[in-house]
Amino acid sequence: MKPPLILVVDDEPVSLQVLEKYLTFEGFTVETAMTGAAGVEKALQLKPNLILLDVMMPDCDGLEICKQLQAHEETATTPIIFITAKQSKEHKLEGLSVGAVDYITKPIEFQEALARIKTQLKLQKVYKENINLQKELGEARRNVAIGSITEGIAHNINNLLGGIKGHLDLLRILNTQEEKSIYHMEKMDEAIHRMVEIVNKLRTISITQNYMTSDILLAKLVKMGVQYFMEEHSNATEIPINSKGTAGVMINSCPELVQNAISNLLINAWESYGDEVADEARRVEIDLEQEDGFAQIKINDWGKGISTELLDTLYEPFSTRHAGVGRGLGLTLAKHFIKNVGGTLELHPREEGGTCATIKLPLNKEAL
């Protein structure tokens, strides 16, 4: 675990050096700045865990610097402790009112300063954990709601489809000699089969069971996913797989779920180009990497990319723009499949255009 990063902003060289030496000795990573402008710049660049800020700076007083840092999203929640020679109650209240969390008075008593710093770092850690828990809780509630809704929809549609299928079978028996009737009944049968597939996909969203996993070569698993996609999209061009030194890498997962997730992500990447782009002009590539005990499968496209209004609802059913039958479930299913095998899925815009979908899966323990 990396030690906390503390940024010290002070225009007095001796004070700066003493603080840097003391905090480094206590196990912190320390960065320094001797002007307010340099302090703001470093804070935005380094995103420290805590800032020690001298109130009396030559170019800009600490109160103004604190306001500037509060105005930036990157540093708005970073705890700032003022260093000051002033000890009046009014002065301290003024600092607290602009966003400072505490004060250290000069001459600095280092044991007291260390206690205040550690307290604020603990509070900041709790704050971040609380934010993450709120996000996870929101996602969990959304998943439960989606699961309940889709299970109910799937159950009712399945019952209706069962009745339709029964009547269709009866019509087939009664109209064996009518060629036109047979043709239309076959079309109805195909439509029902497609609807059943969609219902089964909906039902998988509501499933929370743990799936059986096994050890499998990463490259083999990805090729299975690509093959699954190619069977559904025979007009698709070849999809290159760049191994990047992952030959022989084993992962522990459920092959069926992962290959389905890869196939759904490839469909999403393929369709991101829109109908106006010819199949042969579409480019989709896969990069395989391993890092920190995880295998990474990166599916890259150069399509239209992710619109900002979709970022918050990206994995919700039917949030994508495609309105065809069964469209809009791909990302939801992929996220669900990968989560159930202990992995993660994230989508990010690529600098050169398009989207990168990154699947992270745990490696086989023997590969670590």
pLDDT digit string (tens) for the chain, length 368 residues: 789 999 999 989 998 999 999 999 999 999 999 999 999 999 999 999 999 999 888 778 888 899 999 889 889 889 999 988 776 667 667 777 788 889 888 888 889 999 999 999 999 888 888 787 777 766 666 666 556 556 656 666 766 677 677 766 766 666 655 666 666 667 777 767 767 766 666 656 555 555 677 889 999 999 999 998 988 777 778 899 998 888 888 988 888 889 889 998 998 899 889 888 888 899 999 999 988 889 999 999 999 887 666 666 566 655 554 433 334 567 877 887 888 888 999 998 888 889 999 999 988 755 44
Domain hosting 67: range is 5-108
Residue at which a domain ends, from 108, 129, 153 = 108
Tell me whether residue 240 is in a domain. Answer: yes
Which residue is associated with the tokens 């043709």?
183
DSSP 311: G
Examine the domain organization and report whether 77 and 166 are in the same domain.
Answer: no
Domain end residue (candidates: 92, 108, 124): 108
**Residue 69 maps to a domain:** yes
**Sign of the dihedral through C-alpha 78, 49, 351, 291:** negative
Co-location of 144 and 86 in the same domain: no
3-state secondary structure of 156: helix
Helix (H) or strand (E) holding 350: none
Among 93, 108, 123, which residue terminates a domain?
A: 108
Model pLDDT, residue 342 = 85
Same domain, 147 and 175: yes
d(CA 38, CA 277): 48
Residue 120 within any structural domain of the chain = no
The reply to whether 176 and 266 lie within a common domain is no
Query: What is the predicted pLDDT for the residue at 326?
Result: 35
CATH of the domain at 278: 3.30.565.10
> Domain of 94: which CATH number?
3.40.50.2300
Do 225 and 193 lie in one domain? The reply is no
For residues 244 and 339, membership in a common domain is answered with yes
Q: Considering its fold, how many domains does the chain have in total?
A: 3
- The 8-class DSSP code of residue 280 comes to G
Q: Decide: 67 and 99 in contact? Cβ < 8 Å.
A: yes
Say what the pLDDT of residue 106 is: 84
Q: Do 244 and 194 sit in the same domain of this protein?
A: no
223 and 363 both lie in a single domain: yes
Q: What is the pLDDT of residue 239?
A: 93
On whether residue 132 sits in a domain, the answer given is no
Q: What is the pLDDT of residue 211?
A: 65
Dist. CA 14–CA 333, nearest whole Å = 59
**126 occurs within a structural domain:** no
Same domain, 243 and 306: yes
